[in-house]
Structure 1
Amino acid sequence: MTRTTQTNTRVLDIVSLYPKDMNIYGDTGNVKTVELRARLYGYEPRIHAYNVGDAWPEQVDLVLGGGGQDKGQAVISDDLFARADTLRQLAADGVPMLLICGLYQLFGEYFETHEGQRLPGIHVLGVHTVGQDTRMIGNLVEKTEQCGAIVGYENHSGQTIVHDDGTQPWARVENEGTGNNGSDFTEGARKYNVIGTYMHGSVLPKNPQLSDFLIRTAAEHRYGTFEPTSTAEQKVQLDKLNALAQAAFDVASTRPR
């Protein structure tokens, strides 16, 4: 895929990956948040909702994928493999991606359900997941190297192990949350600019620093730089959004599991 270098073009092409089947915990909120914040920074976000069988966009600057039930993962599996080479190339080229729960698992090596069915992954992230009978659920605060403290809501039964192949844990669990597996205090995984996480919520409305990391990385990848051109009115709107996000962060981070 050809990188655009013209700085007079302010479009950011954002793929919402499988919103029909992988969006059971409000993960569309992540798409809405990125769309709004990118616009307030002076960019033109162009959202491509990609579902099974759809044509793939010609330009991709950011990929956002959500969670789903085991049956949803099975529905998209064949189509995901048909797009695997493209997604692996985008990842290796530095395109940012945020993958929540079910798609985090399928971007790994495999996901084995608690009934024993093994769904192969597309090997973007060096992780594997095995389903358990007990669900790991509740508010979670984690500390990331890139974006500081992040708060979200985990709801999963898969235990994920991060391998040492260039993939690193995305975060460390800061409170009584479970994270990847409940034993090594890690949560999520990152390789290149691909972030996999169990953080629902949706996560981005409460964590604008993560939204801005994704937007900035997408703009830098496409145009070479991130150059906000916010008007005075847009800056006021951003300040209001950030204040609301902080209030939501404070409530969620102190609410018991």
Structure 2
Amino acid sequence: MNRPLRIAHLYPDLLNLYADKGNILTLQQRMAWRGYAVEIIRVQHTDDAKPGEYDLVLLGGGSDREQELVGRTLRRNVAEWKAAVEDGLPLLAVCGGYQLLGEYYQLPNGTKIPGLELLDLRTEAGSPRLIGNIAIQSEVGIILGFENHGGRTRHRHAPLGTVISGHGNNGEDGQEGVRYKNVIGTYIHGPLLPKNPALADMILQLAMDYAGISGTLRPLDDRMEQAARQAFMERRMELAPAVLQHK
């Protein structure tokens, strides 16, 4: 019998600005529907995270102050994080968590909040904020959500996807998010995974493979989720039928 999949939710007491708890609930429920057990490890801001003990990590978004505090805490064992990422640890980082993956986030006054330097990535504050619904084309089809960020992120890795509608990493290069090994960073929230079950399943399969848990995730009946996605794209984003057929 397989052991539970260990999912770490890092600092939910600080980094839950964009309903990131919804991502955890989605991952947990989609595993339960398939008969797999999940252990959710909630790492509070007073705890030291232990990347070697997790199969999947979620790092959410927060304010600049909270982001700086979390970055300072995580950097205490940054060597462990770098080793785990290079070894294939699946990590989903959203908004502020995404920015922390890089070298720094530069505030409007020029102050730089140091990141973990796990990726070749930098973020600088810009104006105006990039706000609105967003759709990107990715390896799992169209990913939908909402973005609200002042940061302009640039990196030297593959993107999570290309922008169909919205702003993306910086509003200029047509890219959104980052994909490096099993690390996914993105500005898409609201939360991300309930709207994008295919992405949730991709992340879960990566985590199962990393954990050595046998099995391939069987398809679920996602007709309700797909109907909601279709309505969102047609009514809220007004995407053309030619785009919708690639969902």
TM > 0.5 fold call: yes
Per the TM alignment, residue 83 of structure 1 is displaced from its structure 2 partner at its CA by 3.2
Residue 133 of structure 1 corresponds to 127
Residue 209 of structure 2 corresponds to 220
Measure the CA separation in 2 of the matches of 1:224 and 1:31.
19
Measure the CA separation in 1 of the matches of 2:80 and 2:224.
37
Measure the CA separation in 2 of the matches of 1:248 and 1:110.
37
Letter in 1 for 2:223: A
Letter in 2 for 1:222: A
Measure the CA separation in 1 of the matches of 2:76 and 2:231.
42
Measure the CA separation in 2 of the matches of 1:107 and 1:252.
30
Letter in 2 for 1:75: L
Measure the CA separation in 1 of the matches of 2:48 and 2:172.
41
Letter in 2 for 1:169: P
Could you give the per-residue CA deviations for residues 70-100 of structure 1, whole angstroms, max 9, x where no partner exists?
Answer: 1111221210111322222221111111100
1:63 alignment partner, SS class: strand
Spell out the pairing of 1:28-39 with structure 2 (5 A cutoff): 28-39=21-32
Per the TM alignment, residue 225 of structure 1 is displaced from its structure 2 partner at its CA by 3.8
Aligned pair partner of 1:199 in 188, 191, 195: 188
Letter in 2 for 1:251: A
How many residue pairs end up in the alignment? 236
Query: Alignment RMSD, CA only?
Result: 1.8
Q: Against the structure 1 CA distance between its residues 248 and 69, is the aligned structure 2 distance closer, same or farther, given a 3 Å change threshold? A: farther
Q: Say whether the 8 Å CA contact 1:140–1:253 is kept in structure 2.
A: no
1:133 alignment partner, SS class: strand
TM score, norm. by length of structure 1: 0.86
Report which stretch shifted further, 110-119 or 149-158.
110-119
Residue 224 of structure 2 corresponds to 244
2:79 alignment partner, SS class: helix
Per the TM alignment, residue 54 of structure 1 is displaced from its structure 2 partner at its CA by 1.2
Letter in 2 for 1:63: V
2:178 alignment partner, SS class: strand
Residue 159 of structure 2 corresponds to 169
Percent identity between the aligned chains?
38
Measure the CA separation in 2 of the matches of 1:191 and 1:28.
23
Measure the CA separation in 1 of the matches of 2:3 and 2:83.
23
Measure the CA separation in 2 of the matches of 1:55 and 1:114.
30
1:250 alignment partner, SS class: helix
1:178 alignment partner, SS class: coil
Letter in 1 for 2:209: E
Aligned pair partner of 1:185 in 156, 171, 174: 174
Per the TM alignment, residue 224 of structure 1 is displaced from its structure 2 partner at its CA by 5.9
Per the TM alignment, residue 55 of structure 1 is displaced from its structure 2 partner at its CA by 4.5
Segments of structure 1 that go 5 or more residues without pairing to the other structure are: 1-7
Measure the CA separation in 1 of the matches of 2:17 and 2:181.
27
Per the TM alignment, residue 53 of structure 1 is displaced from its structure 2 partner at its CA by 2.4
Aligned pair partner of 1:101 in 95, 100, 107: 95
Residue 71 of structure 2 corresponds to 77
Measure the CA separation in 1 of the matches of 2:45 and 2:191.
23
1:156 paired to 2:149: yes
Measure the CA separation in 1 of the matches of 2:99 and 2:184.
11
Residue 62 of structure 1 corresponds to 56
Q: Say whether the 8 Å CA contact 1:97–1:194 is kept in structure 2.
A: yes
Measure the CA separation in 2 of the matches of 1:39 and 1:83.
32
Q: Against the structure 1 CA distance between its residues 55 and 126, is the aligned structure 2 distance closer, same or farther, given a 3 Å change threshold? A: closer
Per the TM alignment, residue 253 of structure 1 is displaced from its structure 2 partner at its CA by 2.5
Per the TM alignment, residue 256 of structure 1 is displaced from its structure 2 partner at its CA by 4.5
1:208 paired to 2:197: yes
Q: Which of structures 1 and 2 has the larger relative contact order (alpha carbons within 8 angstroms, sep 6+)?
A: 1
Letter in 2 for 1:46: E
Q: Say whether the 8 Å CA contact 1:61–1:222 is kept in structure 2.
A: yes
Per the TM alignment, residue 247 of structure 1 is displaced from its structure 2 partner at its CA by 2.6
2:84 alignment partner, SS class: helix
